[in-house]
Amino acid sequence: MLVDPAGRKFSYLRLSITDVCNFKCVYCLPDGYQCDHDRDFLSLNEISNTVKAFAHHGISKLRITGGEPTLRKDFIDVIRAAKDTQGITKIAATTNGYSMHKHINNWVDAGLNAINVSIDTLDPRMFNTITGHDKFSTVMQGIESALESGIESVKINSVLMKQYNGRELDTFLAYLKHRPVTMRFIELMQTNDNKSFFDANHISGQSIKAKLLQAGWQPIIRSVTAGPAQEFFHPDYQGKIGLIMPYSNDFCDTCNRLRISSLGKLHLCLFSEQGISLREHMSDNTNQALIDQLARYIKTKKPTHLLHQGDTGVTTNLSMLGG
């Protein structure tokens, strides 16, 4: 397996296949997608070779991200390529859900095991305000379609924002009462272009954690390939809750994930100082050079990000790497 100097073992790859997104979320792309480079995204062959190289090093979980990954016409082929890779046992995707109601069954048939959908509010008008699109009913229809599809895991990602959804906890809890969905609350993270928005809207997940524990929610032991969320269950609820709190002191201690950008750069951290270009090795079907480079660069991973010091690295917005 890939093991860094801190002794952390990596079993989880987040692979971005495009940085294009068709939503204009206030915390990520408030002015919409602005392309500042050639859209020379990784080809299907490069993606397949990359996944195989990571699987060689013990990566068993793959998350396909963007931007909005389902905008790629070959999105389903990416799922199939991952399914055909020996060692990959879990294939997940993160989406804004705009087309999920039409395609989820095909994605599941191709090999998708888990889906995360970005829904920051259960108020249709606020949804329009946050995303710039009147698609709330369509996205929620997609959630119901996913539950009916038999997919193993359906999660909703909600970025906590004081001025937008800061008072919706009870609404979300009511939604989870009779639905086997995991609701994940994500602390708003500062990026290079959102400092004023961050200062006005950041909410600590610790306050929600305290409320949950007081209300009888209980922690769930995290699996080896699980992401960064602390998850909780309640015997009276079908759904679960996850909290992603990157500003907590021990957040990086359990890091088990690496990232590849849609342009072929390895990011050892979402908020790393720079991406490491590996694209020149991704067309080689033997994968040996790529395998060797991964073993080399994992030794340079730092023990923690510096978000708590206001250092956001090269991350201009979250669509660059899919979070």
Asked if 60 and 11 count as a contact pair (C-beta separation under 8 A), the reply is: yes
Q: Calculate the CA dihedral of residues 113, 118, 122, 125 and round it to 10 degrees.
A: -140
The pLDDT, as a whole number, for residue 190 is: 83
Rounded average pLDDT over 151-160: 97
Provide, rounded to the nearest whole percent, the portion of the chain with pLDDT above 90: 78
The pLDDT, as a whole number, for residue 130 is: 97
Provide, rounded to the nearest whole percent, the portion of the chain with pLDDT above 70: 93
Asked if 166 and 203 count as a contact pair (C-beta separation under 8 A), the reply is: yes
Q: Is the pLDDT of residue 83 over 80?
A: yes
pLDDT digits (tens, 9 = 90+) for 32-76: 887 767 779 999 999 999 999 999 999 999 999 999 999 999 999
Neighbouring CB atoms inside 10 A of 151's CB total 18
**CATH superfamily membership of 15-321:** Aldolase class I (3.20.20.70)
Rounded average pLDDT over 229-248: 93
| Confidence band of 318 (pLDDT split at 50, 70, 90) | low
Asked if 62 and 13 count as a contact pair (C-beta separation under 8 A), the reply is: yes
The pLDDT, as a whole number, for residue 319 is: 57
The pLDDT, as a whole number, for residue 154 is: 98
SS (H, E, C) the chain: CEECCCCCEECEEEEECCCCCCCCCCCCCCCCCCCCCCCCCCCHHHHHHHHHHHHHCCCCEEEEECCCHHHCCCHHHHHHHHHCCCCCCEEEEEECCCCHHHHHHHHHHHCCCEEEEECCCCCHHHHHHHHCCCCHHHHHHHHHHHHHHCCCEEEEEEEECCCCCCCCHHHHHHHHCCCCCEEEEEECCCCCCCHHHHHHHCCCHHHHHHHHHHCCCEECCCCCCCCCCEEEECCCCCCEEEEECCCCCCHHHHCCEEEECCCCEEECCCCCCCCEECHHHCCCCCCHHHHHHHHHHHHHCCCCCCHHHCCCCCCCCHHHCCC
pLDDT digits (tens, 9 = 90+) for 184-220: 999 998 877 788 899 999 999 999 999 999 999 999 9
pLDDT digits (tens, 9 = 90+) for 244-294: 998 877 778 888 999 999 999 999 988 766 789 999 999 999 999 999 999
Q: Is the pLDDT of residue 311 over 60?
A: no
Strand 182-187 and strand 153-160: the pairing is parallel
The pLDDT, as a whole number, for residue 310 is: 57
The pLDDT, as a whole number, for residue 31 is: 85
Asked, as a colleague might, if the bond just before 67 is cis with ω within 30 of 0, I would say: yes
Asked if 197 and 27 count as a contact pair (C-beta separation under 8 A), the reply is: yes
Asked if 155 and 115 count as a contact pair (C-beta separation under 8 A), the reply is: yes
Q: Is the pLDDT of residue 317 over 60?
A: no
Q: Which residue has the higher pLDDT, 155 or 34?
A: 155
Domains of the chain by residue range: 15-321
Q: How far apart are CA 78 and CA 236, in angstroms?
A: 38
Over the chain, what is the mean pLDDT? 91
Q: Is the pLDDT of residue 323 over 90?
A: no
The pLDDT, as a whole number, for residue 184 is: 96
Q: How far apart are CA 73 and CA 84, in angstroms?
A: 19
Q: How far apart are CA 108 and CA 190, in angstroms?
A: 34
pLDDT digits (tens, 9 = 90+) for 165-186: 999 999 999 999 999 999 999 9
Residues near 43 by Cβ (< 8 Å), separated by ≥ 6? none
